[in-house]
């Protein structure tokens, strides 16, 4: 999608982090700003900690800030 948008094929709806360099260089421009509120960040919702799989616990520890 990003490559197509840079080539002028159309619009791409992607996170700003993925195209920050292209926005800074002018290769891409933001459009419809009123329709795209700022993204506050990622959130992880998971079930109670009781009987939590070890892989999920490891992921949570890795992502925790």
pLDDT digits (tens, 9 = 90+) for 13-57: 998 889 999 999 999 999 988 888 877 777 777 777 678 888 888
Give the per-residue pLDDT at 25: 96
- Find where tokens 């892989």 sit: 55
> Which token pair is 1?
């999608």
Q: How confident is the model at residue 12 (pLDDT cuts 50, 70, 90)?
A: very high
Task: Give the length of the chain.
Answer: 65
| Residue 22 domain boundaries | 2-63
> Which token pair is 54?
């070890």
Number of domains in the chain: 1
Q: How confident is the model at residue 65 (pLDDT cuts 50, 70, 90)?
A: low
CA 36 – CA 57 distance, rounded (Å): 33
């Amino acid at each position: 999608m990003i490559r197509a948008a840079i080539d002028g094929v159309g619009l791409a709806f992607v996170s700003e982090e993925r195209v920050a360099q292209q926005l800074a260089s002018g290769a891409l421009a933001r459009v419809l700003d009123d329709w795209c509120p700022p993204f506050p960040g990622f959130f992880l919702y998971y079930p109670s900690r009781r009987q939590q799989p070890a892989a999920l616990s490891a992921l949570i520890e890795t992502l925790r800030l």
